[in-house]
Amino acid sequence: MAKTILITGASSGIGAGMAREFAKKGYNLAICARRVERLQSLKQELEQQYGIQVIAKILDVTQYDQVFEVFNAFKSEFGTLDRIIVNAGVGDGRRIGKGKFEINRSTVETNFISALAQCEAAVEIFREQNAGHLVVISSISALRGMPKHLTAYGASKAGVAALAEGIRAELLNTPIQVTTIFPGYIRTEINEGAQKLPFEIDEKTGSRLLVAEIEKAPAKAYIPKWPWLPIGFAMRVLPLKWVNKLSG
């Protein structure tokens, strides 16, 4: 029986990219996002191309009750959820103290509080099953405090990374696995208008590398591994003026 993966934020970017890569591998998919037309188009594409089962549901992850309802509905329809990827998020952010609190608040709520809701819903299901793989998408910007537009965004992703590690600590010695992913700069629809970013890769390459690492179920992974694995270690000890250069 084919295994099932739930992916949030699956209507575009690396969410849709990962769905395509997992579909190639024969997984059934539970995909959800706010843009239902895009989900339905992706569902049709993947079912026709790979002969898998895809269920698509609309989900705004900032509606916390809806997160639990949708996750549990997927569980009921598929019977089992083998892997849940907490991917939905926003890349917005503004410099601190420039009168843009509402944008930064929304970014932090979407990226952290909504991720908490998704993790709660996922781990409830996995505890009941006594099995499962939780994957949380953080960011390389979570490793140190970042300047400019990345300050609130990076802080939200640092919170997500700490949340995932705490869940992993709780679930050590159980059949439930937890993976934290730290992607570098991946050029997607969310940042298509931004200037060229350090060591950026395209969406298709990023999605392929993400899926390859997720399949290994590591505790944590940097995408792409080179150069972000050594840079990630260096970022923890470099002076902030050097870390600032990675903010684009």
Residue numbers annotated as active site = 153
Buried-state track 219-229, b at ≥16 Cβ within 10 A, e below 16: ebbbbbeeebe
Give which of 186, 164, 196, 182 is closest to 230, Cα–Cα.
Answer: 182
- The position carrying tokens 């990345």 is 150
DSSP helix/strand/coil, 132: strand
Let me know: does 96 contact 153? Beta carbons within 8 Å: no
**How far is it, in rounded angstroms, from Cα 71 to Cα 196?**
36
**How far is it, in rounded angstroms, from Cα 54 to Cα 82?**
14
**How far is it, in rounded angstroms, from Cα 96 to Cα 111?**
17
Q: CA separation (Å) from 123 to 43, 85, 154, 234?
A: 25, 12, 24, 33
**How far is it, in rounded angstroms, from Cα 149 to Cα 156?**
12
Let me know: does 243 contact 198? Beta carbons within 8 Å: no
